[in-house]
């Protein structure tokens, strides 16, 4: 059934029908209790409204749980972060939802959503957040700071063989808190999986469905005491670890990238990444492109505000295993 529904309104309507007909009528999230153990797995989707690729797989999982063709013995909450932005085909309406999981968020639609979601995250034993990149990516990947619990869960679940990681506790954007960071601040695993380019696709269906299937199996084994995440991680291949090597601040509004850059595209030291006749941006070392930005520009060639904080970054493989770089993490 995965991929059968690829219309945002249709998926959200179906989600609402299931939610309202079930025993737990909670706005924008679906709750399941398998009754065999108390482990609480929380899955996030469309925290960014236009990253809709996980929705068919999420809906298929709910249908399968309800039909009894998929079983999970613990508690499972599936949270739709920003359905209003999804219907508008926007990343957000007022502010980026994945930056405002703080005690006193600014006013606006996304802040209200964060306030509604945080109590659910408070009760999570593991939070698995599914995202997509703005542009094409040649692979799915995890992205969050390194920790041993996070490593065990990411390796045990699979879904991606690459992990863009950083020092334990390092934030993604200074002064903000992401949903997965909010969970990690409570000393619980919070993982983010990027499926690839945003939107519906066969790749998103395949990656999300396989990751969700394995995620439930790992959570069931951990919750029932049959195994630990570390035990299950040992049964899976090791991940490939990369980290940010360089990022270019978007400090001039006329900065513009050359056409066609995509996530994990290989670049060489000294290679020009900027468009002709714009401020020069060159790669300072060999690496792979990550999160290139192509904002709208006005008639004078200036990026439309608010422009992103950075325009591009590169990543490179870690020279050692993260446990050797950050022992005791």
| 8 Å CB contact between 49 and 83 | yes
pLDDT in tens, 9-22: 999 999 988 888 87
Question: What's the whole-model pTM score?
Answer: 0.95
Higher local confidence (pLDDT), 17 or 214: 214
312 pLDDT band (50/70/90 cuts)?
Answer: very high
Residue 264 pLDDT more than 60?
A: yes
Residue 263 pLDDT more than 90?
A: yes
Task: Give me the pLDDT at residue 26, please.
Answer: 75
Residues in Cβ contact with 41 at an 8 Å cutoff, skipping those fewer than 6 apart: 72, 74, 75, 76, 77, 124, 125, 126, 128, 215, 216, 219
From first CA to last CA, the distance across the chain in angstroms is 40
210 pLDDT band (50/70/90 cuts)?
Answer: very high
pLDDT in tens, 269-283: 999 999 999 999 999
* Domains of the chain with CATH codes: 8-238 (3.40.630.10), 244-329 (2.40.50)
Helix ranges (H only) for 158-284 are 179-184, 202-223, 229-234
Round the average pLDDT of the chain to a whole number and report it: 94
Task: Give me the pLDDT at residue 1, please.
Answer: 43
pLDDT in tens, 20-49: 887 766 789 999 999 999 999 999 999 999
Whole-number percent of the chain with pLDDT over 70: 97
In DSSP terms, 272 is beta-bridged to: 282
Section 63-78 average pLDDT:
96
Residue 311 pLDDT more than 90?
A: yes
Cα separation, 69 vs 60, whole angstroms: 11
Structure-block tokens of residue 235: 């049964």
Q: Which of 148, 157, 159, 172 is nearest to 290 (CA)?
A: 172
């Amino acid at each position: 059934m995965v991929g059968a529904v690829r219309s945002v309104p249709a998926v959200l309507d179906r989600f609402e029908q299931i939610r309202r007909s079930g025993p737990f009528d909670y706005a924008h999230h679906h709750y399941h209790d398998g009754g065999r153990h108390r482990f609480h797995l929380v899955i996030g989707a469309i925290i960014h409204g236009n990253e809709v690729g996980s929705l068919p797989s999420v809906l298929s999982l709910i249908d399968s749980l309800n039909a009894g063709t998929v079983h999970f013995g613990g508690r499972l909450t599936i949270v739709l972060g920003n359905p209003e932005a999804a219907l508008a085909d926007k990343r957000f309406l007022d502010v980026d939802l994945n930056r405002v999981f703080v005690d006193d968020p600014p006013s606006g639609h996304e802040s209200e959503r964060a306030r509604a979601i945080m109590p659910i995250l408070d009760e999570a034993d593991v939070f698995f957040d599914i995202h997509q990149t703005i542009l094409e990516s040649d692979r799915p990947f995890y992205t969050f700071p390194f920790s041993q619990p996070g490593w065990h869960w990411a390796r045990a679940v699979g879904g991606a063989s690459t992990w863009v990681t950083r020092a334990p506790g390092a934030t993604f954007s200074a002064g903000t808190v992401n949903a997965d960071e909010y969970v990690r601040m409570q000393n619980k695993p919070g993982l983010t999986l990027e499926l690839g380019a945003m939107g519906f696709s066969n790749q998103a269906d395949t990656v999300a469905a396989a990751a969700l299937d394995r995620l439930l199996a790992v959570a069931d084994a951990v919750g029932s005491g049959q195994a630990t995440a570390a035990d299950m991680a040992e049964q899976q291949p090791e991940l490939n670890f990369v980290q940010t090597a360089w990022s270019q601040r978007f400090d001039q509004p006329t900065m513009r990238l050359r056409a066609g850059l995509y996530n994990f595209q290989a670049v060489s030291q000294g290679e020009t990444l900027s468009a002709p006749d714009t401020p020069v941006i060159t790669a300072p070392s060999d690496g792979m492109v990550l999160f290139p930005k192509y904002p709208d520009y006005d008639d004078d060639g200036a990026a439309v505000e608010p422009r992103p904080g950075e325009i591009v970054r590169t990543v490179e493989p870690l020279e050692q295993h993260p446990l050797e770089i950050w022992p005791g993490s």
